[in-house]
Amino acid sequence: MPKRNQQPELASKLSDKGIRLTKQRRILIDLIESANQHLHPSDLLYQAREKGVKLDRTTVYRTLTMLKELGLVEELDLLHLNGHEHYYEIRHDRGHIHIGCISCGKILELHTDCLSDLCDEIRQKTGFIIKTVRTEVAAVCPDCQRKT
């Protein structure tokens, strides 16, 4: 999975929007920003605890909801390969496809120009203005193909 370090800081985007950064929010934002995988809320709780910061589940969910509503973070179900859990990642201007292995649950990210081609086609054919693109593909990974 690509590193997310090149992303402009969420913190400055939030203060641009006039949102006050409590210590807890700041920790969460740092963790989300430095993540190199899709985050489950319990990952955030665990990682914060590892850093010696006590957070409760409600704060984590509230912060994620706020970031999602501001369009800074995407909520993903990743094909529900892991039950009903939802995951979060920083929203990128350039979209990517999530490819999930239905056999082992591995998730791969593919950055491709075909998404912007698809958006162009949607715009031309429907006149809709696209706000979010989320593409998830269910597949069988090469490792699992070898096993069967």
Instruction: Kindly tell me which residue out of 9, 34, 92, 104 binds Zn ion, with binding defined by CB under 5 A.
Output: 104
DSSP state of 85: -
What φ, ψ does residue 92 adopt, rounded to 5°? Answer: -105, 150
Sequence-distant (6+) residues with CB within 8 A of 21 are 11, 14, 15, 29
For position 138 contacting Zn ion by CB under 5 A, the verdict is no
For position 135 contacting Zn ion by CB under 5 A, the verdict is no
Binding segment for Zn ion (CB under 5 A), chosen from 2-10, 16-24, 65-73, 97-105, is: 97-105
Pattern of binders to Zn ion over 105-124, x per CB under 5 A? ----x---------------
Binding segment for Zn ion (CB under 5 A), chosen from 7-15, 61-69, 87-95, 116-124, is: 87-95
CA dist 124 and 72 (Å) reads: 26
